[in-house]
Amino acid sequence: MSRESGDNLDRNRSGNLPMASVMDLYLSRRSVMRGGLGAAIAMVAGGGLAGCFDNTSAKQEATSAAGGKPTLALGFQSIPGSRTDGCTIAAGYSAYVLAPWGTPLNSAGAAWKADGSNSAADQANAMGMHHDGMHFFPIDGSSEDGLLAINFEYIDQQALHPHGPTVDASGKRPAEEVRKEINAHGAGVVRLKKRDGRWQVVDNDPLNRRFTTASQMDIAGPLRGSEHVKTRFSPDGTRCRGTNNNCGNGYTPWGTYLTCEENWPGIFVNKGTLPADQARIGVVTSTGLYQWESAAGDSSEVADEFTRFNVTARGASATDDYRNEASTFGYIVEIDPYDASTRATKRTALGRVRHEGCCPGLAIAGKPLVWYMGDDSNNEYLYKFVSTAPWDPADANPTDRLATGAKYLDHGTLYVARFDADGKGVWLPLQTATPTLAGSTLGALYSDLPGIILHTRGAADAVGATPMDRPEWTAVNPLNGDAYLTLTNNLVRSADRADHANPRGPNLHGHIIRWHDSDDQLSFTWDIFVYGANASGSSEINRSGLSELNQFASPDGMSFDSRGVLWFETDNSEKSVAGYTNDQLLAVIPTQLLGTDGKQVAVNGQNQIDLRRFFVGPNGCEMTGITFTPDNKTLFINVQHPGNWPFSDKATDATPAGTRVRPRAATVVIQRVDGGEIGTA
């Protein structure tokens, strides 16, 4: 979640034992055993649960059979922080700007205009605003020709329009402005080719397309056809319109893109009595975030395109109004990037929350498929979805990708995580028979599976899941299946929850947690991989022993490359780190962090030098989205909401002092000058 788009409110009133308390219990038990506070901090920050991550295949990857020396190592030195209107990058690398906001994808869209005067129709056929999660899909396995599927998280109204948004004396927004804003949200697919060593957008490629907050989509899974999603637009509850506030992402083994709907509740307004699901997820009651509903009744309105954002019950039934329109948002949306004739599909079985990432676990023949997902709000939860169907490798290249998606994504079990103080955890199934803390069942609370999915947050509350510090992106190590989650921060955790073992309340810096699932998918073991901190922080704050060259706050976007290098990005909120450097991209190889017993450990004071800063973005930005070509020779990342950038197509060119440009989020292409693989020696 961008710090620019979230509201940072705490809507979890469950009273479930928070992660802070779990850590209190976990660390206090071991501080007694090992001799006090310092030992307790070293225990977690230094990998006290290393035995949980004793994976033979990982150790074999990490060391060579001959000499026991690492076979993979970072090939760059950590760079200093930067506070300029340009990007900085490790020595030996180049970085250039690709496909910024407004880049036309076809001839139906005019070239981007620096005065902000492009039309709504132009925007519908161009790159959207504030690039976020993305994934590269190769054409025929190529590392020089492929499709970039990409999210556009939210809008900057001041930059989008020539003079910012307009509201008339009666409080109404102009229809053309609203349409442009709707079209700047969503996701897209764009064809890229590498020509003379440089990536370019392929204009007018038949696979170039946009998905906006107005695009028609299919509803699949438990909620398809249910009473919860029937509207005036779709009386049978099988279709809906739009995807919004698309932040993190995922992908599937059969070659489709998963885009995650995150901070979408604010676009709706309900001026009546909020249903429990709308209250728990954050639908507003006075006016929508962008006041799109105010354009309702405009003479140009088509098919209630603006009316639908007012979800107040007004008709005799749900098919007479849009009381259920908000119930068609909050899902993982599957897109087939290779077939422009298909519609996007909302996979409701994966839950309805403010979805962030949706990373797949390792696909193993004969085993169910797994996806891990964060719900990016304060004190929300970590989820996973396990397919009913076991993975069949023959499905990796299907003739109908969305039909394959139905096989694996519409039928399965949604779980929520409970982290226990002994370094173990339990996956709690969100099913009708699951008992609640109150002694009932989820079926008794919500009637059936569609009701549970609609109330995903409430169901997780009821079964005793662990509230987390804004769970964001998930990532899975391809070498051993260990899963990681960025917990970006929690500014509303009260200070009275902190003590000698967990002093970070509120949690200003965030951290990354990791776990390894049991074979039956019902339990896991966990530890804290790294704590964000300012280098000058006390030992209670700087638990991972970070230095100036790798200090960070608010970890956010995250991904492993195919070699096992973990890359993560930041969304700074802590003033000490933010005062030293803009948001950044760091890298580390977890399987290379080994203790004296040869087992994996976390980042700590002895090995922190192996966590390195690789890239720093321009002033005002957040680093978002990350993907690689199959050969790992191109890294794509996104610069979101820059303040005064880009000045040129060279990402490292700083905008000269005294010069103002209309800011444009953009993808940045990173390559090694010598043409080698990114990041490694």
Q: What is the pLDDT of residue 75?
A: 97
Instruction: Dump pLDDT digits (tens) for 112-136.
Output: 999 999 999 999 999 999 999 999 9
Taking 70 as the threshold, does the pLDDT of residue 7 lie above it? Answer: no
pLDDT band at 311 (very low <50, low <70, confident <90, very high): very high
pLDDT band at 574 (very low <50, low <70, confident <90, very high): confident
Instruction: Dump pLDDT digits (tens) for 532-541.
Output: 999 999 998 9
Taking 70 as the threshold, does the pLDDT of residue 231 lie above it? Answer: yes
Taking 90 as the threshold, does the pLDDT of residue 34 lie above it? Answer: no
Taking 90 as the threshold, does the pLDDT of residue 142 lie above it? Answer: yes
CA distance 555 to 473: 9
Mean pLDDT of the chain: 91
Percentage of the chain surpassing pLDDT 70?
A: 88
Taking 80 as the threshold, does the pLDDT of residue 161 lie above it? Answer: yes
Q: What is the pLDDT of residue 67?
A: 46
Where exactly are the structural domains of the chain? 19-672
Q: Where are the alpha helices (DSSP H) in 173-275?
A: 175-184
The CATH number of the domain covering residues in 19-672: 2.120.10.30
Q: Select the more confidently predicted residue: 39 or 554.
A: 554
Once rounded to an integer, what is the mean pLDDT over residues 135-144? 98
Q: What is the pLDDT of residue 58?
A: 42
Taking 80 as the threshold, does the pLDDT of residue 505 lie above it? Answer: no
CA distance 551 to 161: 37
Taking 60 as the threshold, does the pLDDT of residue 63 lie above it? Answer: no
pLDDT band at 46 (very low <50, low <70, confident <90, very high): very low
Q: What is the pLDDT of residue 580?
A: 97
pLDDT band at 33 (very low <50, low <70, confident <90, very high): very low
Q: Where are the alpha helices (DSSP H) in 68-224?
A: 120-124, 157-160, 175-184
DSSP string for 280-312: HHT-BSS--SS-GGGGTT-TT--TTTTGGGB--
Q: Select the more confidently predicted residue: 40 or 387.
A: 387
CA distance 132 to 622: 9
pLDDT band at 23 (very low <50, low <70, confident <90, very high): low
pLDDT band at 286 (very low <50, low <70, confident <90, very high): very high
Once rounded to an integer, what is the mean pLDDT over residues 271-289? 97
* Tokens coding 540: 């209670």
Q: What is the pLDDT of residue 55?
A: 47
Are 676 and 665 in contact by the 8 Å Cβ rule? The answer is no
Once rounded to an integer, what is the mean pLDDT over residues 571-580? 90
Burial of 303 (0-12, 13-18, 19+ CB in 10 A): exposed
**Which range (4-13, 117-126, 639-648) has the least confidence?**
4-13
Taking 90 as the threshold, does the pLDDT of residue 14 lie above it? Answer: no
Are 1 and 470 in contact by the 8 Å Cβ rule? The answer is yes
CA distance 152 to 638: 11
Q: How many CA atoms lie within 13 A of 601 on its CB side?
A: 21
Taking 50 as the threshold, does the pLDDT of residue 568 lie above it? Answer: yes
- CB-CB neighbours of 38 under 10 Å: 12
CA distance 403 to 394: 14
Once rounded to an integer, what is the mean pLDDT over residues 246-250? 97
Instruction: Dump pLDDT digits (tens) for 383-433.
Output: 999 999 999 999 999 999 999 999 999 999 999 999 988 889 999 999 999
Taking 70 as the threshold, does the pLDDT of residue 1 lie above it? Answer: no
Once rounded to an integer, what is the mean pLDDT over residues 472-492? 95
pLDDT band at 3 (very low <50, low <70, confident <90, very high): low
Handedness of CA 515, 519, 522, 523 (dihedral sign): negative
Q: Select the more confidently predicted residue: 660 or 8.
A: 660
